[in-house]
Amino acid sequence: MAVRVFALAAHADDIEFGMAGTLLLLARAGCEIHYMNLADGSCGSAEHDGATIAAIRLDEARRAAARLGAVFHPPLAPDLEVFYEKGLLAKVASVMREVSPDVLLVHSPWDYMEDHTNACRLAVAAAFCRGIKNLSVDPPRDAIAGEVTVYHAQPHGNRDAMNRFVRPEFFVDIDSVVEEKAAMLGEHQSQSEWLDRTQGFSAYVNTMRGFSREMGALSGRCEYAEGWRRHNPLGFCRADAHPMADLLPNYLVKGE
């Protein structure tokens, strides 16, 4: 069976900024890719009401996921309502049991905004609870067995909430797929317009290239890279489990 990879992030475009290059390479390696944003984008517009912009964001995210050939999972919460609480955890845990991933790609444990940090906490907790049958999930699904290796992407901008640079454990060389990564990000046109207006993210795709170029320079091997850290394996997988290294041996660069 193909290795099943689940990319779970907060917002439409978060996967494209920090994970898409690695996902493209994993898809080329024969992995089954699953794609999910927890928040629906309903707050991300100065022109449209919540329902309208959420529908636009959903369509854009579906198109981006299609470029990966990924299985798309719809969002579960409104923007700025991604809280670490029982009801949302039950929903995320149900999707986790449905996907039953071998590899889980999530945000950094501490990122520049709370939706990112909480999405990480929810995803990691849902993965940890995958085999706990007494945890009620919504909708109900049976507990699952098996290992899952959790990897954390770089925080947005490669810096944590206190603006401290975060050094990854290893890098993935994405030079060969950076144009496809840019094309995926380019699908999120409404998000580009919103960030340009509210956060000064002029030249949306160029901002992504700058973040990836910073990782490439740090790797010492490539122009563009994505950085990753492995989560503590206790409760998730064997201590020496590192499927990313097994799947992408020609693209991994160890950090210092």
Domain at 146, CATH number: 3.40.50.10320
Residue written as token pair 């940890």: 128
Q: Sign of the C-alpha dihedral, residues 172, 175, 177, 181? A: positive
Of 121-130, 140-149, 172-181, 184-193, give the lowest mean pLDDT range: 184-193
Check whether 200 has a pLDDT greater than 60. no
Question: What's the pTM value of the predicted model, to 2 decimals?
Answer: 0.94
Residue 255 banded pLDDT, cuts 50, 70, 90: confident
pLDDT score for 8: 98
106-123 per-residue burial string, b: 16 or more CB within 10 A, e: under 16: bbbbebbbebbbbbbbbb
Check whether 236 has a pLDDT greater than 80. yes
3-state helix, strand, coil in the chain (%, to 5): 45, 15, 40
Cα(74)–Cα(247) distance, integer angstroms: 27
Cα(30)–Cα(47) distance, integer angstroms: 41
Average pLDDT over residues 153-171: 97
| Domains in the chain, number | 1
pLDDT score for 192: 57
pLDDT score for 193: 63
Q: Which domain holds residue 50?
A: 4-254
pLDDT score for 198: 57
